[in-house]
Amino acid sequence: VQLVESGGGLVQPGGSLRLSCAASGSMFNRFKMGWHRQAPGQQRELVATITSGGAIEYGEFVQGRFTISKDRPKSTVYLQMNNLKPEDTAVYYCLAAGITGSETWGRGTQVTVSS
């Protein structure tokens, strides 16, 4: 298994979660890693990505609530999510992409925001 997500769960609105994506060495060194999400009945959308050079991109809905980071010694990418909203409920997928556009996806981790 090349990408393994963890850290999802049930949280109340306003709460926080930290997602982790542990990558095999070759996956971690790819051009871009990050997170997308997919809610029921909706298309998969960008949450956050980080390139090997450290450039970061966030989805428009993030609005300062989420932070992506990577730990090179652990070959792990993190997504710290704060001030979670019910509309953040989705399956969150880890992605590793090569510079030519090839993509590898993890199996996903469920995040549910509900009171």
Q: Convert the pLDDT of each residue in 33-78 to its tens digit.
A: 999 999 999 999 999 999 999 999 999 999 999 999 999 889 999 9
Q: What mean pLDDT, rounded, does the chain reach?
A: 94
Tokens coding 10? 């049930």
User: ∠ CA 97-102-103 to the nearest 5 degrees?
Assistant: 55
Averaged pLDDT, 87-114? 94
Which DSSP string do the residues of 21-61 spell out, in sequence order? Answer: EEE-HHHHTSSEEEEEEE-TTS--EEEEEEETT--EEE-TT
**Cα 81 from Cα 87, distance rounded (Å):** 13
**Please, which residues have CB within 8 angstroms of residue 48's CB and are 6 or more apart in sequence?**
34, 35, 56, 57, 58, 59, 62, 66, 67, 68, 79
Which neighbouring-strand residues pair with 111? 9, 90
